[in-house]
Amino acid sequence: MVRLPICEDCASRDFLCPVDREKLEKGYISQLDVDVSRILYDLDRYYRIGDEVELVRAHDLGSFVLLIIRGEMGRLIGKGGKVLKALRQRIGKPVRIVEIDVDLRKSVQDLFAGARIVGLSKARTKEGEVFKIYILRRDARFLPFPFRDLEKALGYILPGPFIVEFVE
């Protein structure tokens, strides 16, 4: 069973228990988290994703839905991409899955999947530490989604401020 931000009973029903309703009202989870949790619960029964995957948060960024997970991302993609395709159909938008609590460079690369990340470093500025992400300028045309949406997604993935630079 996929680990979800809501309990199993709430994932299987159309209403939330008092504990999960309070999480929703206080902003610990969003309605999208609840909707995606219910979709994943249904897909888990069919595809047997397993408990190696935990949905941390889901964010609607306009052109796509970002799923932040912990665990084995491959289980959520499925053999031949079957699970991801079913997830896309159910949500009705493209989905980008990013695994956190692994190498930060891998998380950023998962997000920018079409373009190559040539560098990721921390730099000191007057304001403090900032992450610098370097992408090849010629790969900018291969970005999977509008750059504005990808920048918003980076804000959810990186633990601090960041700068994206396109280099030769």
Confidence of residue 160 (pLDDT cuts 50, 70, 90): confident
Q: Is the pLDDT of residue 156 over 90?
A: yes
Output the pLDDT for position 51.
Answer: 85
Confidence of residue 126 (pLDDT cuts 50, 70, 90): confident
Q: How many CA atoms, within 13 angstroms, populate the side-chain half-sphere of residue 77?
A: 12
At 109-118, the pLDDT tens digits run 999 988 989 9
**Sign of the alpha-carbon dihedral angle for 114, 101, 31, 53:** positive
Output the pLDDT for position 50.
Answer: 83
Distance between CA atoms of residues 97 and 109, nearest Å: 11
Closest CA to 95 of 50, 146, 60, 45: 60
At 29-59, the pLDDT tens digits run 999 999 999 999 999 988 988 888 999 999 9
At 74-110, the pLDDT tens digits run 999 989 999 999 999 999 999 999 999 888 899 999 9
Output the pLDDT for position 153.
Answer: 95
What percent of the chain stands above pLDDT 70?
100
Instruction: Give the chain's domains with CATH numbers.
Output: 1-101 (3.30.300.20), 103-168 (3.30.300.20)
Distance between CA atoms of residues 58 and 40, nearest Å: 12
